[in-house]
């Protein structure tokens, strides 16, 4: 009687462990799919792939401009902000080009190097942009990214999804997939050992 209870409990434990392993594998596959349709296209479509050194030539704050908070949406909110324009000397080619914060900045407003998030307090936006401008004037030389193919003549300060960020995004689903497969393998080995012991 005790032996049957132990066998039943063992089978239940194996079933739960097998479901856990399969669930982890399924979740990791969903995470791979989500990363593949969101982050990977942005990374592969970015032409600013080569890192170089940029030297600030001028950083000016122009008059206020307006920018939609969400492009493409029906309910577009317009908010004004000072337009910061940063021009740098590209070390790789010696050209004078305009600097943008990220790839998204160029799409949102090609006239400004920095596009702030919508804030209710306009003084905070102005203070932030003035701080950014003073930092560019203070730190004249810094790393930036440019397009080696020449399709884009401007440069960006940082990529939205760098190589390290992409690898980090794939790290967690990979660990989950590996753990799920390991649990399934261990359960199958345990079942095989149990069947072999019962046959002997």
pLDDT in tens, 110-129: 888 998 877 667 788 888 88
Domain boundaries, the chain: 50-161, 162-199
How far apart, in whole angstroms, are the C-alpha atoms of residue 157 and residue 155?
A: 7
Question: Do 126 and 82 form a contact (C-beta atoms < 8 A)?
Answer: yes
Query: Is the pLDDT score of 6 beyond 70?
Result: no
- Which is nearest to 91 in space by CA: 135, 128, 61, 57? 57
Q: Model confidence at 200, in pLDDT bands (50, 70, 90)?
A: low
Structure-derived torsion over alpha carbons of residues 18, 22, 23, 26, reported in degrees to the nearest 10: 180
Of 42-46, 106-110, 135-139, 143-147, minimum mean pLDDT range: 42-46
- Specify the pLDDT at position 67: 57
Are the C-beta atoms of residues 57 and 88 closer than 8 Å to each other? yes
Torsion of CA 135, 140, 144, 149, to 10 degrees: 140
Quick: pLDDT tens for 37-67: 888 888 887 888 888 899 999 888 887 666 5
Res 125: pLDDT = 84
| Residue whose C-alpha is closest to residue 46's, from 188, 187, 165 | 165
């Amino acid at each position: 009687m005790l032996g049957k209870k132990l066998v039943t409990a063992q089978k239940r434990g194996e079933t739960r462990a097998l479901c856990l392993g399969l669930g982890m594998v399924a979740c990791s596959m969903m995470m791979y799919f989500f990363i593949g349709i969101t982050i990977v296209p942005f990374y592969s479509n970015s032409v600013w792939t080569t890192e170089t050194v940029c030297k600030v030539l001028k950083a000016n704050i122009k008059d206020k401009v307006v920018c939609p908070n969400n492009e493409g949406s029906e309910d577009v909110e317009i908010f004004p902000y000072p337009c910061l324009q940063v021009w740098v000397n590209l070390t790789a080619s010696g050209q004078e080009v305009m600097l943008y914060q990220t790839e998204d900045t160029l799409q949102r407003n090609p006239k400004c190097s920095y596009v702030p998030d919508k804030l209710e307090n306009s003084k905070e936006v102005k203070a932030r942009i003035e701080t950014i401008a003073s930092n560019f004037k203070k730190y004249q030389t810094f790393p930036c990214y440019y397009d080696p193919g020449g399709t884009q003549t401007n440069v960006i300060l940082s990529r939205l999804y760098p190589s390290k960020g992409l690898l980090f995004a794939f790290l967690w689903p990979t660990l989950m997939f590996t753990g799920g497969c390991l649990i399934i393998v261990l359960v199958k080995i345990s079942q095989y050992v149990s069947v072999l012991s019962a046959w002997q």
